[in-house]
A and B are shown apart, each in its own frame.
Chain A
């Protein structure tokens, strides 16, 4: 195989050197290839004059060869051509496949007297197709094109449409009809909806058939001053003429100078419809187009092998590998940390949830989390009853200090926002309406990137303490404000505390009282405490002295205070000042036994005294007399001068009688103008008679009443005791009464003794 190749190469070299000699000496013919962009016969007809012209100019027969794409390739591959004229795209492909001498010249066309070295593409449709008016309408249409290698027949249009967002290779069905003439025919017959041809074709065809102008419509027509053709795309340089490297440089020079020498009016130019040839153009723009469209020769991107890749990007690959390794490592590490963190979080959450003290989390003043104890405290069953609500929603309208709950909690939360930890007593209203006191702590839980920081909220139920405090306050108030004096002593009876009333009643300062014994009855002393210990209490009334020496009466009750085990630990005493009570009692007693007008004992006391003196007389064998005194003519005085005068008279008479009697004797007013007297220790009858005589005299003395001097007298009866038979007081008084009547009967103003015989 290898040997065969070597042999072939050697043979080829021999041939080449042989032909080279012939070319240098004088070539038999020059083969000039032209790309068939229009039908063969047209091409030959038009370009034969050019071949003839060249033949004439260089002195060697020039043979025209009209070739399609494949034919041209085959011819070039076997060196069957010396020069060729083709479109720029085709030229680029050829140049990429084999070495050339470069382009010699660029074709200049002419139309309507205007020359141009530029070509472009035309996009057209049948004039009847009103539905296709601009480039975007081309999407999805059937397109007729002479071939994908045609610059003006496909590539320029494809680039222009790409700019308009239409990718013809993917969006459209493309009919490749091999020549421009067939494209026009396809569009006219309706085989294709849109046609692509190069500039100049339509003008040439319209020259043959003017009706064509009305049957087609050109899309995206460019307005380019000085360009002689209708065009839909941007422009590129016209066709180049190139020579192959095997052609003798002398011939190349002669052909080139012949081409440049062509004038517009030469038959060669006129026939081909060209203006001549210009110096070779810059075909780089065509290369850009081919690259952009990825068409030959730029349709394949160089394949990169792994080896090259590693070789070229070793550093990058290594760095990427290390990065991926680091990334994976850090991801695993992060995942582990995350899992640990999650476990930690769960543990913490369980701890908080099951913690016996109520704990909650607030954000923006609303509950976002709560533990079981908090729910139980407020007596709710589900956490969602709390979540999303604020503290005020579970509080009474106002707090015990009078603040509105909602305003107060807002103030507190503002302080917490500033970073303070706030502790406050708060009343909540439970779901059942009852209220609960808590000691509430609000503490900020800062996370730097949170717009609304969390606040930890914990509660401590202090309802029991609050109630005890209230009871204590009440007790203290009672102690302080009672009107009764209260004291508390230790087991030995020494005072520990006293109230204000104690100080007021006893006149002793608190400091003086504490540590001493309380006021106790003289006769019992500290025995009171022994009694209170034995019976649970002691009570009694007794007289006492204040600090300033004033006497007063008090009623005291002492009770034992028992501790948790039922043993007496303290004594408590309550006493009140009963001095006034005692005075009132005495007054009442006086009112019951004395006459209000004369202040003499009344009948009750008289009877009582009579019993006493009667008993005494019996015991001591004394004699006593019961005397009954009735004023004579008292009523006329009363009637004449009024009751007041009467009363004055009675008082005066009573005083005179009292003055006559001895200390041990008793004078009483029995009622109206009737008096009675008890005369004791009567040694002999004359004593009694003298006394009675003095009484009569004293009564009968004139009395000044109400500005008048009046005079009254009395009738007196008396009886003695003891008598022969035992008598009671009533009987004695009745006897004296009878004796008084006797005296009245005998003419008044006298005394008369009871005579049992007379009655």
Chain B
């Protein structure tokens, strides 16, 4: 079980304030978040004081933390990839996708040895991937797209932090991974055979909330999304400031932030409305993803809800 650590998630962010629920006011939305360029909007909102009292950010070091706490009910919502959201949903409390923070356009990459020049040549090769993570989704999509059956390749299920070692020892022919591993592998002679920019509007990072919580305290969910869009405006429209703040938080250089930003798209309010619509892109992708995950035995069952996304919590107009 691994998820995105953006560029060496060395940030050992503790779970400050977890369990210390504010008393008095109606229960705030406890929202799990971890470092990822797509979620920077919320970090920025917090930094500039745009986060309302109704929302309480619980900072973890990876999506794993958020998923566990969501399942145990200690969180009311979290920022996750769509496939992670599906995994929690089918096992734990029912979730609702209320916002799309970013769409991967190149952040997820299939790196292959230079002699492999097309997807067809993957047949009979050994491919390393962290199946339980978002890279698993990427690989399954790639195989689908190239009409390669599962038994035509050898899939080596390995955690993301072992990928570089596997590559160096030459144990695999290709690796499905994401930044920063991808850049490292490219530096070691790998070729970018496929990346998420070729899977348009498929790998989503989303904001999810517990369905029951959303029914009970919809104003907190609205407040969360308003904060996200305020932060997003600063992130996108004021890049001359935001790249430095993101760089500071993630301990990387502004240049690397700019590269990372280039590998994702930040959908604005109108795009969010389109993605989250009934039978919109998010629901379509979620359904096909859940079928794929169920088929591979990665989740016990497929999605069985009428609506998995809801645009009603989006702000009426951009701030």
Contact = CB atoms under 8 A, between A and B. Distances in A.
A225 B257 CA distance: 11
Interface stretch (B125-133, B143-151, B199-207, B245-253): B245-253
A225 B251 contact: yes
A118 B49 contact: no
Interface in B5-62: 48-49
A235 B241 contact: yes
A223 interface: yes
A168 B313 CA distance: 37
Contacts of B252: 225
B49 A236 contact: no
Contact of B237 (A117, A235, A284): A284
A237 B243 CA distance: 12
A288 interface: yes
B238 interface: yes
A118 B241 contact: yes
A234 B44 CA distance: 12
A226 B247 CA distance: 8
Contact of B240 (A225, A226, A237): A237
A281 interface: yes
Given A118-B244, A163-B48, A163-B49, A226 B237 contact: no
Contacts of B247: 224-226
A227 interface: yes
Interface in A103-140: 117-118, 120
Contacts of A282: 237, 239
Interface in B285-318: none
B52 to A, nearest CB: 15
B241 A226 contact: no
B69 to A, nearest CB: 29
Contacts of B237: 282, 284-285, 288
A235 B48 contact: no
Q: Chain A interface residue count: which class?
A: 10 to 19
Nearest to A106: B240
B244 A235 contact: yes
A223 B248 CA distance: 7
Q: Chain B interface residue count: which class?
A: 10 to 19
Nearest to B247: A225
Interface in B220-266: 234, 237-241, 243-245, 247-248, 251-255
Nearest to B49: A163
B49 A224 contact: no
**Interface hub of B234, B237, B254 (most chain A Cβ within 10 A):** B254
A120 B248 CA distance: 16
Nearest to B252: A225
B241 A234 contact: yes
A163 B255 CA distance: 29
B7 to A, nearest CB: 13
Say whether chain B's binding surface is mostly helix, strand, loop, or mixed.
helix
Contacts of B255: 226
Given A163-B48, A163-B49, A236 B244 contact: no
Say whether chain A's binding surface is mostly helix, strand, loop, or mixed.
loop
B240 A236 contact: yes
B241 to A, nearest CB: 4
Contacts of B248: 223-226
Contact of B244 (A163, A226, A284): A226
A234 B238 contact: yes
A285 B254 contact: no
Contacts of A237: 240
Contacts of B253: 225-226
Contacts of A224: 244-245, 247-248
Contacts of A163: 48-49
A224 B252 CA distance: 11
Given A235-B240, A236-B238, A285-B240, A226 B254 contact: yes
B146 to A, nearest CB: 37
Given A225-B253, A225-B254, A226-B254, A285 B238 contact: yes
B254 A236 contact: no
Contacts of A238: 240
Nearest to B48: A163
A527 to B, nearest CB: 107
A225 B248 CA distance: 5
Contacts of A235: 238, 240-241, 244
A282 B237 CA distance: 7
Nearest to B248: A225
A276 to B, nearest CB: 15
B251 A236 contact: no
A235 B238 CA distance: 8
Given A224-B248, A225-B251, A118 B240 contact: yes
A224 B240 CA distance: 12
A232 to B, nearest CB: 13
Contacts of A120: 241
Contacts of A236: 238, 240-241
Interface of A: 117-118, 120, 163, 223-227, 234-238, 281-282, 284-285, 288
18 contacts: A117-B240, A118-B240, A118-B241, A118-B244, A163-B48, A163-B49, A225-B252, A227-B244, A227-B254, A234-B238, A234-B241, A235-B238, A235-B244, A236-B240, A281-B240, A285-B234, A285-B237, A285-B241
Given A224-B245, A226-B254, 15 more contacts: A118-B244, A223-B248, A224-B244, A225-B248, A225-B253, A226-B244, A226-B253, A226-B255, A234-B48, A234-B238, A235-B238, A236-B240, A285-B234, A285-B237, A285-B241
